[in-house]
Amino acid sequence: MDLTVQAANEITGTVKAPPSKSYSHRAFLMAFLADGESTLRDPLYSEDTLASLNTGIEMGSTVKRTESLCSIQGVAGKPKTPYDVLDLKNSGTTLRIMTSLASLADGFTVLTGDNSLKTRPMQDLLDALKPLGVTACSTRNDGKAPIIVKGGFYGGETSIKGDVSSQFISSIIMAAPLAKKPVDLKVKGEFISQPYVMMTLELMNKFGVKVDFDKTENSFHIEPQSYKPADYTVEGDYSSASYIIAAAAALKSDVKIKNLMKDSKQGDKIILDIVRDMGCEVKVKNNEVEIKGQGMLNGVDVNLQNAPDLLPTVAALGAMADGTTNIYGVEHARFKETDRIHTCSTELSKLGVSLIEKRDGIQINGGVHGGVVKSHMDHRLAMAFYIVGLKVGGICIKDASVYKVSFPDFPDIMKKLTAG
C-alpha cells in the first residue's frame, strides 16, 4: 500500500502511547516459560510481537486474548518441539531470543522468516551459545536464518561481543535460568544498546528470576531457577511515540501523550531531550508527556548508540530543522530491518536533503521538499517519512503499510491529532 501525506497546519490533542514493543515481546516469552498462568495487561498486538506470542503457542503455551488483556498458561520451562518450521515473519527480536529459548525443547527447532529477516546477522549468538552446550547452526552456513536449534542447554561460561546486538545478550540471559547449571556471560568490548538489556533484567525480576549484573565487568551470573507467573501491565513505547513527538516538534503543536513513564528504562526516552535541544518545549509528568512546538527547529549533535531505533526519527527531524544535525554512534543501525544509515540517506536525498552518509551515522543539512520515497519494508522509515510529509506536504511513501509491524494504529492516531 502506498500512502500520500499532505501538509498539516498544526497538531493538537491527547493520545495514549502505544504499548511497548520491546516489553511486549519479552513479556509474551517470559509468560510462555513460566510455571502457571500470567496476566498481561495492555500488551501490543502487532505483526512483530504476534510472532513471539504465536511462537509460544506453537511450543506449548495456551493463550486467551482480548484487546487489552492476554492470559498465558506457561510451559514451566519445558517448551514442546514445534510441529513445523517457525515462521517469524520480520521479527528480529523473536528470532534472536528464540534461538536460545528453542534449545530448552527436546528435538530440533527451525527458525526462519521473510527475506529481510534472513539477512540479519546471527553468528555471534550461535558462537556464544556453543560453550553453554547449545547446538545451533545456520542452514546455509552463512550465520543467518534459517537457524536450526537442537534441544539441550547445559550452562557454564561464555562471552559475546557487545557491539552487534543487545538482543543476543538478552537471548542468552532469558534462557539461562532454565539451564542445568549456572551461566556466566561476559560482554566483550563496547556494550551498545545497554538499556534494552536492563529492560530484560527488569522484566525477568517481575517474573521471579534474579540475575546478578556486574556493571564494572559487564558480566552476568544466573543461577538455575524458574519463571513465576506474573500480573504485568505493559508501559507505553517511546520508540513508537517518537513519531508523535517528532510531529509535535516540527509543527505548531500542543500534544499530550499518556502512558509514557518518567522513570522508564527505555533508551529511546532520549527523544525528549533531543526535541528539547532542537527548540521544542517538553514537560514530563509521572506518566504523561506534553509537547508544545512552534514549527521551528535547530540542528543538533546526537549520539544514538543506546537508541538506534531513533535513527529514522532523528534523521527526519534533522531534515526539517535549520542548520546541521550530526547523528553518530549508531553503526549497529546498519543491521536492523534494513541498513538504516544507508536507506535513510538514500531516501532523504530524493527529497532534496543535503547530507553525508558516514560509517556510524549521518550528517544532515536542514532543508527538505516533497517527493516519492520507499519504505524498504522498514516500519520505522515509513513512519519517519510520514512526519516529513506533515511538515512539507506531497510525500508519497511506497509500501507504507509496513507500519503495522510495530504501530498498527499509526495513521489513525496521526489523522486524529492533525484534524484538530
Residue 412 class from Cβ within 10 Å (0-12 exposed, 13-18 middle, 19+ buried)?
A: exposed
**Of residues 42, 237, 268, 309, which has the active-site annotation?**
309
Q: Structural domains in the chain?
A: 3-18+236-418 (3.65.10.10), 21-233 (3.65.10.10)
Q: pTM of the predicted model, to two decimals?
A: 0.93
3-state SS assignment for residue 120: coil
Q: Is 309 a catalytic residue?
A: yes
| Residue ranges at the known binding site for phosphoenolpyruvate | 21, 92, 120, 167, 340, 380
Per-residue pLDDT of the chain (420 residues; tens, 9 = 90+): 899 999 999 999 999 999 999 999 999 999 999 999 999 999 999 999 999 999 999 999 999 999 999 999 999 999 999 999 999 999 999 999 999 999 999 999 999 999 999 999 999 999 999 999 999 999 999 999 999 999 999 999 999 999 989 999 999 999 999 999 999 999 999 998 999 999 999 999 999 999 999 999 999 999 999 999 999 999 999 999 999 999 999 999 999 999 999 999 999 999 999 999 999 999 998 899 999 999 999 999 999 999 999 999 999 999 999 999 999 999 999 988 899 999 999 999 999 999 999 999 999 999 999 999 999 999 999 999 999 999 999 999 999 999 999 999 999 999 999 986
Please report, in range form, the residues annotated as the binding site: 21-22, 26, 92, 120, 165-167, 193, 309, 336, 340, 380
Identify the H or E element spanning 258: strand 252-258
Under DSSP, is residue 32 helix (H, G, I), strand (E, B) or coil? helix
Region of residue 156 (phi > 0: left; psi between -120 and 50: alpha; otherwise: beta): left
Binding residues for 3-phosphoshikimate: 21-22, 26, 165-167, 193, 309, 336
